[in-house]
Structure 1
Amino acid sequence: MRFRAPRRAALGLALPILAAGLAACGGPAQRSEAPGPVQGAGAVTTEDRTPDAFEHLSVGAGIRVEVTEGAVVSVTLAAQPNLLPLISTRVTDGQLVVNVASPGFSTSEPVTLTVVAPDLRSMTLSGGATGTLATTTTGTLTLDVSGGAVLVATGTAQALALTASGGAQAHLGGLEADTATVTASGGCQAELNVVIALSGDVTAGATVRLTRQPASVDVTTGGGGMVIGG
Protein backbone atom coordinates (compact mmCIF):
# COMPACT_ATOMS: atom_id res chain seq x y z
CA MET A 1 0.00 0.00 0.00
CA ARG A 2 1.35 3.41 -0.96
CA PHE A 3 0.80 6.41 1.23
CA ARG A 4 0.80 9.92 -0.25
CA ALA A 5 0.92 12.95 2.05
CA PRO A 6 -1.75 15.57 1.45
CA ARG A 7 -0.56 18.12 -1.12
CA ARG A 8 -1.63 21.12 0.94
CA ALA A 9 0.44 20.03 3.94
CA ALA A 10 3.59 19.73 1.80
CA LEU A 11 3.12 23.22 0.46
CA GLY A 12 2.57 24.51 3.95
CA LEU A 13 5.94 23.13 5.02
CA ALA A 14 7.77 24.52 2.00
CA LEU A 15 6.47 28.07 2.35
CA PRO A 16 8.14 28.86 5.69
CA ILE A 17 11.44 27.47 4.39
CA LEU A 18 11.19 29.61 1.26
CA ALA A 19 10.28 32.66 3.32
CA ALA A 20 13.28 32.12 5.57
CA GLY A 21 15.56 31.89 2.53
CA LEU A 22 14.19 35.12 1.09
CA ALA A 23 14.66 36.91 4.40
CA ALA A 24 18.28 35.77 4.52
CA CYS A 25 19.13 36.67 0.93
CA GLY A 26 16.76 39.35 -0.21
CA GLY A 27 17.34 42.12 2.34
CA PRO A 28 19.92 44.89 1.88
CA ALA A 29 23.42 44.11 3.20
CA GLN A 30 24.22 45.80 6.49
CA ARG A 31 27.57 47.62 6.61
CA SER A 32 29.43 47.32 9.88
CA GLU A 33 31.43 50.38 10.90
CA ALA A 34 35.02 49.89 11.98
CA PRO A 35 35.54 50.72 15.65
CA GLY A 36 37.28 53.99 16.43
CA PRO A 37 40.49 54.37 18.47
CA VAL A 38 40.35 53.36 22.12
CA GLN A 39 40.19 56.43 24.36
CA GLY A 40 42.69 56.32 27.20
CA ALA A 41 41.19 56.32 30.69
CA GLY A 42 42.62 56.46 34.19
CA ALA A 43 45.93 57.49 35.68
CA VAL A 44 49.15 56.51 33.91
CA THR A 45 50.64 53.31 35.31
CA THR A 46 53.91 51.48 34.65
CA GLU A 47 54.24 47.87 33.49
CA ASP A 48 57.40 45.76 33.32
CA ARG A 49 57.96 44.48 29.78
CA THR A 50 61.52 43.19 30.12
CA PRO A 51 62.13 40.74 27.23
CA ASP A 52 65.01 38.61 26.02
CA ALA A 53 68.24 40.33 25.01
CA PHE A 54 68.17 42.49 21.87
CA GLU A 55 70.49 44.75 19.86
CA HIS A 56 67.95 46.54 17.66
CA LEU A 57 64.88 48.62 18.52
CA SER A 58 61.88 49.71 16.41
CA VAL A 59 59.18 52.08 17.71
CA GLY A 60 56.28 53.88 15.99
CA ALA A 61 52.68 55.02 16.52
CA GLY A 62 53.54 58.23 18.36
CA ILE A 63 55.12 56.42 21.31
CA ARG A 64 57.94 58.11 23.21
CA VAL A 65 61.04 56.01 23.95
CA GLU A 66 63.96 56.78 26.25
CA VAL A 67 67.05 54.61 25.78
CA THR A 68 70.12 54.42 27.99
CA GLU A 69 72.97 51.93 28.38
CA GLY A 70 73.19 49.49 31.26
CA ALA A 71 74.53 46.05 32.08
CA VAL A 72 71.07 44.54 32.60
CA VAL A 73 68.28 44.65 30.00
CA SER A 74 65.17 46.46 31.21
CA VAL A 75 62.01 47.58 29.40
CA THR A 76 59.10 49.36 31.09
CA LEU A 77 55.98 50.83 29.52
CA ALA A 78 54.01 53.71 31.05
CA ALA A 79 50.47 54.36 29.80
CA GLN A 80 46.87 54.49 30.94
CA PRO A 81 45.68 51.04 32.12
CA ASN A 82 43.24 50.34 29.28
CA LEU A 83 45.91 51.14 26.67
CA LEU A 84 48.61 48.80 27.98
CA PRO A 85 47.08 45.64 26.40
CA LEU A 86 47.04 47.34 22.98
CA ILE A 87 50.82 47.89 22.96
CA SER A 88 53.00 44.85 22.27
CA THR A 89 56.74 44.61 22.92
CA ARG A 90 58.27 41.53 21.32
CA VAL A 91 61.79 40.47 20.39
CA THR A 92 62.21 38.88 16.96
CA ASP A 93 65.64 38.02 15.56
CA GLY A 94 67.35 40.27 18.08
CA GLN A 95 65.04 43.25 17.44
CA LEU A 96 62.63 44.67 20.01
CA VAL A 97 59.56 45.71 18.01
CA VAL A 98 56.87 47.89 19.58
CA ASN A 99 53.47 47.67 17.87
CA VAL A 100 49.99 49.02 18.55
CA ALA A 101 47.02 46.75 17.85
CA SER A 102 44.03 47.88 15.79
CA PRO A 103 42.02 50.12 16.18
CA GLY A 104 44.79 52.11 17.89
CA PHE A 105 44.28 54.58 20.69
CA SER A 106 43.74 58.23 21.50
CA THR A 107 45.05 59.86 24.66
CA SER A 108 46.09 63.18 26.13
CA GLU A 109 48.59 61.43 28.41
CA PRO A 110 52.13 60.44 27.37
CA VAL A 111 52.87 56.84 26.40
CA THR A 112 56.51 56.20 27.29
CA LEU A 113 58.78 53.21 26.77
CA THR A 114 61.91 53.23 28.95
CA VAL A 115 64.69 50.97 27.69
CA VAL A 116 68.01 49.97 29.22
CA ALA A 117 70.24 47.86 26.97
CA PRO A 118 73.93 46.97 27.16
CA ASP A 119 74.70 47.07 23.43
CA LEU A 120 72.13 48.72 21.17
CA ARG A 121 73.27 48.62 17.53
CA SER A 122 70.31 50.18 15.74
CA MET A 123 67.21 52.25 16.45
CA THR A 124 64.26 52.92 14.16
CA LEU A 125 61.62 55.56 14.84
CA SER A 126 58.59 56.07 12.60
CA GLY A 127 54.99 57.25 12.59
CA GLY A 128 55.45 60.30 14.81
CA ALA A 129 57.44 58.49 17.51
CA THR A 130 59.85 60.54 19.60
CA GLY A 131 62.96 59.30 21.34
CA THR A 132 66.13 60.00 23.25
CA LEU A 133 69.26 57.88 23.09
CA ALA A 134 72.36 58.01 25.28
CA THR A 135 75.09 55.69 24.01
CA THR A 136 78.81 54.94 23.78
CA THR A 137 78.81 52.64 20.76
CA THR A 138 82.17 51.09 19.91
CA GLY A 139 81.09 49.83 16.49
CA THR A 140 78.55 51.11 13.97
CA LEU A 141 75.35 52.72 15.24
CA THR A 142 72.50 52.65 12.70
CA LEU A 143 69.68 55.16 13.11
CA ASP A 144 66.56 55.40 10.94
CA VAL A 145 63.92 58.11 11.45
CA SER A 146 60.89 58.66 9.21
CA GLY A 147 57.27 59.76 9.14
CA GLY A 148 57.67 62.83 11.34
CA ALA A 149 59.62 61.01 14.06
CA VAL A 150 62.01 63.01 16.26
CA LEU A 151 65.23 61.64 17.77
CA VAL A 152 67.72 63.29 20.12
CA ALA A 153 70.96 61.36 20.69
CA THR A 154 74.00 61.99 22.88
CA GLY A 155 77.26 60.18 23.55
CA THR A 156 79.83 58.71 21.16
CA ALA A 157 79.97 56.30 18.23
CA GLN A 158 82.87 55.04 16.19
CA ALA A 159 80.71 55.00 13.07
CA LEU A 160 77.23 56.37 12.45
CA ALA A 161 74.81 55.40 9.68
CA LEU A 162 71.80 57.73 9.51
CA THR A 163 68.75 57.43 7.26
CA ALA A 164 66.17 60.20 7.61
CA SER A 165 63.05 60.87 5.52
CA GLY A 166 59.44 62.01 5.57
CA GLY A 167 59.83 65.20 7.62
CA ALA A 168 61.69 63.46 10.44
CA GLN A 169 64.18 65.22 12.70
CA ALA A 170 67.48 63.75 13.91
CA HIS A 171 69.15 65.97 16.50
CA LEU A 172 72.53 64.29 16.80
CA GLY A 173 74.73 67.28 17.62
CA GLY A 174 75.41 65.77 21.03
CA LEU A 175 76.48 62.43 19.51
CA GLU A 176 80.15 62.59 18.48
CA ALA A 177 80.93 60.16 15.66
CA ASP A 178 84.34 59.48 14.16
CA THR A 179 82.78 58.74 10.76
CA ALA A 180 79.24 58.95 9.40
CA THR A 181 77.18 58.16 6.35
CA VAL A 182 73.91 59.99 5.85
CA THR A 183 70.95 59.42 3.53
CA ALA A 184 68.49 62.27 3.98
CA SER A 185 65.41 63.13 1.91
CA GLY A 186 61.78 64.20 2.09
CA GLY A 187 62.22 67.50 3.91
CA CYS A 188 63.87 65.97 6.95
CA GLN A 189 66.29 67.83 9.20
CA ALA A 190 69.44 66.40 10.75
CA GLU A 191 72.22 67.74 12.93
CA LEU A 192 75.53 65.86 12.92
CA ASN A 193 78.76 65.99 14.91
CA VAL A 194 81.36 64.15 12.80
CA VAL A 195 85.10 64.30 13.44
CA ILE A 196 86.88 62.47 10.60
CA ALA A 197 84.76 61.68 7.53
CA LEU A 198 81.20 62.32 6.36
CA SER A 199 79.68 60.84 3.21
CA GLY A 200 76.25 60.25 1.72
CA ASP A 201 73.34 61.86 -0.11
CA VAL A 202 71.10 64.77 0.89
CA THR A 203 68.15 65.31 -1.46
CA ALA A 204 64.50 66.33 -1.80
CA GLY A 205 64.51 69.34 0.49
CA ALA A 206 66.43 67.73 3.34
CA THR A 207 68.79 69.81 5.46
CA VAL A 208 71.87 68.52 7.28
CA ARG A 209 73.57 70.88 9.71
CA LEU A 210 77.13 70.19 10.86
CA THR A 211 78.20 71.25 14.34
CA ARG A 212 81.85 70.98 13.24
CA GLN A 213 83.77 70.58 9.99
CA PRO A 214 84.89 66.96 9.46
CA ALA A 215 88.34 66.37 8.02
CA SER A 216 86.68 64.87 4.92
CA VAL A 217 83.25 65.57 3.41
CA ASP A 218 81.90 63.67 0.39
CA VAL A 219 78.16 64.35 0.29
CA THR A 220 76.05 64.56 -2.87
CA THR A 221 73.21 67.09 -2.76
CA GLY A 222 70.27 67.58 -5.11
CA GLY A 223 66.61 68.50 -5.31
CA GLY A 224 66.91 71.28 -2.75
CA GLY A 225 68.95 69.23 -0.28
CA MET A 226 71.54 71.19 1.71
CA VAL A 227 74.53 70.66 3.98
CA ILE A 228 75.28 73.71 6.12
CA GLY A 229 77.50 74.70 9.03
CA GLY A 230 80.72 73.10 10.08
Structure 2
Amino acid sequence: MQQLRISIPKPCTQNWADLSPAEKGRYCSSCQKEVIDFRGWTADELQDWFANSNGRVCGRLSQKQLDYFKPKEVRHEGWSFSAKVLLASSLALLTSSKVYSNTFAKSDSAIHQNTNEKGSKIKEEAKPSDSLIIIKGIITAKEDKLPLPDVSIFLKNSSVSGSTGDNGRFTLQVKATPGQKLLLEFKCLGYATKELEITPESVAQELELEMAFSDEGLTMGAVVVSYRRYPLHKRIWNFIKSPFVKHR
Protein backbone atom coordinates (compact mmCIF):
# COMPACT_ATOMS: atom_id res chain seq x y z
CA MET A 1 0.00 0.00 0.00
CA GLN A 2 1.21 3.55 -0.74
CA GLN A 3 0.64 6.83 1.01
CA LEU A 4 -0.43 9.68 -1.27
CA ARG A 5 1.58 12.88 -0.93
CA ILE A 6 0.34 16.17 -2.41
CA SER A 7 2.28 19.43 -2.42
CA ILE A 8 2.53 22.75 -4.25
CA PRO A 9 6.28 23.56 -4.16
CA LYS A 10 5.98 26.80 -6.13
CA PRO A 11 2.70 28.62 -5.34
CA CYS A 12 1.27 30.78 -8.11
CA THR A 13 0.99 34.53 -7.54
CA GLN A 14 -2.01 35.05 -9.85
CA ASN A 15 -5.20 36.48 -8.34
CA TRP A 16 -7.92 33.82 -8.34
CA ALA A 17 -10.70 36.38 -8.73
CA ASP A 18 -9.07 37.74 -11.92
CA LEU A 19 -9.01 34.34 -13.65
CA SER A 20 -11.69 33.37 -16.14
CA PRO A 21 -14.38 30.87 -15.01
CA ALA A 22 -13.84 27.32 -16.28
CA GLU A 23 -15.59 23.97 -15.96
CA LYS A 24 -13.63 22.75 -12.93
CA GLY A 25 -12.39 26.05 -11.58
CA ARG A 26 -10.68 28.95 -13.37
CA TYR A 27 -8.56 29.36 -16.50
CA CYS A 28 -5.15 31.01 -16.19
CA SER A 29 -4.14 32.80 -19.37
CA SER A 30 -0.61 33.26 -18.04
CA CYS A 31 0.24 29.54 -17.99
CA GLN A 32 -2.48 28.49 -20.47
CA LYS A 33 -3.96 25.95 -18.05
CA GLU A 34 -7.16 25.30 -16.18
CA VAL A 35 -6.75 25.63 -12.42
CA ILE A 36 -8.94 23.02 -10.72
CA ASP A 37 -10.68 24.19 -7.58
CA PHE A 38 -10.14 21.37 -5.05
CA ARG A 39 -11.18 23.33 -1.97
CA GLY A 40 -14.47 21.54 -1.37
CA TRP A 41 -13.11 18.05 -2.05
CA THR A 42 -12.82 15.47 0.71
CA ALA A 43 -9.63 13.50 1.39
CA ASP A 44 -11.12 10.38 -0.22
CA GLU A 45 -12.15 12.31 -3.33
CA LEU A 46 -8.65 13.77 -3.68
CA GLN A 47 -7.10 10.35 -3.13
CA ASP A 48 -9.21 8.76 -5.88
CA TRP A 49 -8.81 11.62 -8.34
CA PHE A 50 -5.02 11.90 -8.12
CA ALA A 51 -4.62 8.12 -8.13
CA ASN A 52 -6.23 8.06 -11.58
CA SER A 53 -4.78 11.27 -13.02
CA ASN A 54 -1.74 11.51 -15.26
CA GLY A 55 0.92 14.18 -15.02
CA ARG A 56 0.86 17.47 -13.19
CA VAL A 57 -2.19 19.65 -12.79
CA CYS A 58 -2.70 23.15 -11.53
CA GLY A 59 -4.98 23.33 -8.54
CA ARG A 60 -6.19 25.39 -5.63
CA LEU A 61 -6.20 23.68 -2.24
CA SER A 62 -6.62 24.73 1.35
CA GLN A 63 -3.76 24.43 3.82
CA LYS A 64 -5.73 21.79 5.74
CA GLN A 65 -5.88 19.62 2.62
CA LEU A 66 -2.15 20.00 1.99
CA ASP A 67 -1.35 19.27 5.64
CA TYR A 68 -3.43 16.08 5.48
CA PHE A 69 -1.34 14.77 2.59
CA LYS A 70 2.02 15.84 3.98
CA PRO A 71 4.61 13.06 4.35
CA LYS A 72 4.00 11.35 7.67
CA GLU A 73 6.97 10.58 9.88
CA VAL A 74 7.36 6.85 10.40
CA ARG A 75 8.56 5.78 13.80
CA HIS A 76 10.60 2.54 13.74
CA GLU A 77 9.97 1.00 17.12
CA GLY A 78 9.62 -2.53 15.72
CA TRP A 79 7.41 -5.29 17.07
CA SER A 80 8.49 -4.64 20.66
CA PHE A 81 6.55 -1.39 20.66
CA SER A 82 3.45 -3.14 19.28
CA ALA A 83 3.77 -5.80 21.97
CA LYS A 84 3.90 -3.11 24.66
CA VAL A 85 0.80 -1.44 23.28
CA LEU A 86 -1.05 -4.78 23.17
CA LEU A 87 -0.05 -5.61 26.76
CA ALA A 88 -1.09 -2.21 28.05
CA SER A 89 -4.42 -2.47 26.25
CA SER A 90 -5.09 -5.93 27.71
CA LEU A 91 -4.32 -4.79 31.25
CA ALA A 92 -6.54 -1.76 30.84
CA LEU A 93 -9.37 -3.94 29.51
CA LEU A 94 -9.11 -6.37 32.45
CA THR A 95 -9.07 -3.53 34.97
CA SER A 96 -12.04 -1.77 33.41
CA SER A 97 -13.99 -5.05 33.28
CA LYS A 98 -13.54 -5.61 37.03
CA VAL A 99 -14.53 -2.06 37.87
CA TYR A 100 -17.56 -2.30 35.61
CA SER A 101 -18.74 -5.60 37.12
CA ASN A 102 -18.42 -4.22 40.67
CA THR A 103 -20.34 -1.05 39.94
CA PHE A 104 -22.91 -2.36 37.46
CA ALA A 105 -25.69 -2.96 39.98
CA LYS A 106 -25.26 0.46 41.58
CA SER A 107 -24.94 2.33 38.30
CA ASP A 108 -27.94 0.50 36.81
CA SER A 109 -30.28 1.69 39.54
CA ALA A 110 -28.74 5.16 39.42
CA ILE A 111 -29.28 5.35 35.65
CA HIS A 112 -32.96 4.50 36.02
CA GLN A 113 -33.30 7.09 38.72
CA ASN A 114 -31.50 9.77 36.72
CA THR A 115 -33.52 8.91 33.63
CA ASN A 116 -36.75 9.36 35.54
CA GLU A 117 -35.50 12.62 36.99
CA LYS A 118 -34.40 13.89 33.58
CA GLY A 119 -37.73 12.90 32.08
CA SER A 120 -39.64 14.85 34.69
CA LYS A 121 -37.36 17.87 34.26
CA ILE A 122 -37.82 17.83 30.49
CA LYS A 123 -41.57 17.79 30.92
CA GLU A 124 -41.38 20.68 33.36
CA GLU A 125 -39.08 22.75 31.15
CA ALA A 126 -40.96 22.11 27.90
CA LYS A 127 -42.33 25.30 26.46
CA PRO A 128 -45.84 24.82 25.12
CA SER A 129 -45.44 28.04 23.14
CA ASP A 130 -42.66 26.59 20.99
CA SER A 131 -43.63 26.24 17.36
CA LEU A 132 -41.96 24.61 14.38
CA ILE A 133 -40.65 27.08 11.84
CA ILE A 134 -39.11 26.33 8.45
CA ILE A 135 -36.07 28.34 7.36
CA LYS A 136 -35.38 28.34 3.62
CA GLY A 137 -32.65 30.12 1.74
CA ILE A 138 -30.18 30.23 -1.11
CA ILE A 139 -26.45 30.86 -0.87
CA THR A 140 -24.39 32.18 -3.76
CA ALA A 141 -20.74 33.00 -4.29
CA LYS A 142 -20.11 36.73 -4.08
CA GLU A 143 -17.60 36.72 -6.94
CA ASP A 144 -19.67 35.11 -9.69
CA LYS A 145 -23.19 35.02 -8.13
CA LEU A 146 -23.43 31.28 -8.82
CA PRO A 147 -25.19 28.91 -6.37
CA LEU A 148 -22.81 27.57 -3.74
CA PRO A 149 -23.18 23.84 -2.92
CA ASP A 150 -21.89 21.99 0.17
CA VAL A 151 -22.24 24.94 2.52
CA SER A 152 -22.72 23.69 6.10
CA ILE A 153 -25.37 25.54 8.11
CA PHE A 154 -25.49 25.34 11.90
CA LEU A 155 -27.98 26.75 14.38
CA LYS A 156 -25.69 27.79 17.21
CA ASN A 157 -26.33 26.43 20.70
CA SER A 158 -28.34 23.53 19.25
CA SER A 159 -27.91 20.28 17.34
CA VAL A 160 -29.77 21.57 14.26
CA SER A 161 -27.69 21.61 11.08
CA GLY A 162 -27.99 21.23 7.33
CA SER A 163 -26.24 21.92 4.03
CA THR A 164 -26.91 23.38 0.61
CA GLY A 165 -27.54 21.22 -2.45
CA ASP A 166 -26.17 21.67 -5.95
CA ASN A 167 -28.59 24.56 -6.45
CA GLY A 168 -27.28 26.38 -3.38
CA ARG A 169 -30.59 26.03 -1.52
CA PHE A 170 -31.16 24.76 2.01
CA THR A 171 -34.05 24.05 4.38
CA LEU A 172 -33.96 23.86 8.17
CA GLN A 173 -36.72 22.98 10.61
CA VAL A 174 -36.36 24.72 13.96
CA LYS A 175 -38.45 24.96 17.12
CA ALA A 176 -38.60 28.52 18.44
CA THR A 177 -40.75 30.92 20.40
CA PRO A 178 -42.07 34.21 18.97
CA GLY A 179 -39.38 36.89 19.04
CA GLN A 180 -36.60 34.43 19.87
CA LYS A 181 -33.22 35.35 18.38
CA LEU A 182 -31.64 32.54 16.36
CA LEU A 183 -28.01 32.66 15.22
CA LEU A 184 -27.16 30.78 12.02
CA GLU A 185 -23.57 30.01 11.06
CA PHE A 186 -22.52 29.28 7.48
CA LYS A 187 -19.27 27.45 6.71
CA CYS A 188 -17.75 26.36 3.42
CA LEU A 189 -14.19 25.29 2.70
CA GLY A 190 -12.34 28.15 1.06
CA TYR A 191 -14.93 30.78 1.98
CA ALA A 192 -15.10 33.19 4.89
CA THR A 193 -17.47 31.98 7.62
CA LYS A 194 -20.62 34.07 8.03
CA GLU A 195 -23.20 34.45 10.78
CA LEU A 196 -26.77 35.66 10.48
CA GLU A 197 -29.17 36.50 13.31
CA ILE A 198 -32.85 35.95 12.58
CA THR A 199 -36.18 35.67 14.39
CA PRO A 200 -39.17 33.44 13.56
CA GLU A 201 -40.95 36.50 12.18
CA SER A 202 -38.11 37.31 9.75
CA VAL A 203 -38.10 33.96 7.93
CA ALA A 204 -41.40 34.35 6.14
CA GLN A 205 -39.45 34.88 2.92
CA GLU A 206 -36.52 32.93 1.52
CA LEU A 207 -33.16 34.07 2.87
CA GLU A 208 -30.53 35.20 0.38
CA LEU A 209 -26.88 35.11 1.41
CA GLU A 210 -23.58 35.70 -0.36
CA MET A 211 -20.27 34.18 0.73
CA ALA A 212 -16.90 35.59 -0.32
CA PHE A 213 -13.66 33.76 -0.93
CA SER A 214 -11.21 33.58 1.93
CA ASP A 215 -7.64 33.76 0.71
CA GLU A 216 -6.36 32.78 4.13
CA GLY A 217 -4.80 29.33 4.08
CA LEU A 218 -5.27 28.78 0.32
CA THR A 219 -2.51 27.81 -2.08
CA MET A 220 -2.66 27.76 -5.90
CA GLY A 221 -0.14 26.32 -8.32
CA ALA A 222 1.23 23.17 -9.95
CA VAL A 223 0.34 20.15 -7.81
CA VAL A 224 3.08 17.56 -7.33
CA VAL A 225 1.87 14.04 -6.49
CA SER A 226 4.04 11.22 -5.18
CA TYR A 227 3.58 7.99 -3.26
CA ARG A 228 5.31 6.49 -0.27
CA ARG A 229 4.88 2.89 0.78
CA TYR A 230 3.16 2.39 4.12
CA PRO A 231 5.02 0.40 6.82
CA LEU A 232 4.16 -3.29 7.20
CA HIS A 233 2.04 -3.00 10.34
CA LYS A 234 -0.19 -0.35 8.74
CA ARG A 235 -0.63 -2.40 5.57
CA ILE A 236 -1.73 -5.38 7.67
CA TRP A 237 -4.16 -3.23 9.64
CA ASN A 238 -5.69 -1.71 6.49
CA PHE A 239 -6.07 -5.19 4.99
CA ILE A 240 -7.89 -6.38 8.12
CA LYS A 241 -10.27 -3.41 7.94
CA SER A 242 -10.93 -3.73 4.20
CA PRO A 243 -9.82 -7.17 2.96
CA PHE A 244 -11.64 -6.89 -0.38
CA VAL A 245 -10.40 -3.40 -1.27
CA LYS A 246 -7.46 -3.14 -3.59
CA HIS A 247 -4.79 -1.15 -1.72
CA ARG A 248 -2.16 0.73 -3.62
Q: Same fold (TM over 0.5)?
A: no
Larger Rg: 1
TM-score by length of 2: 0.21
Higher helix fraction: Structure 1 or Structure 2?
2
Higher strand fraction: Structure 1 or Structure 2?
1
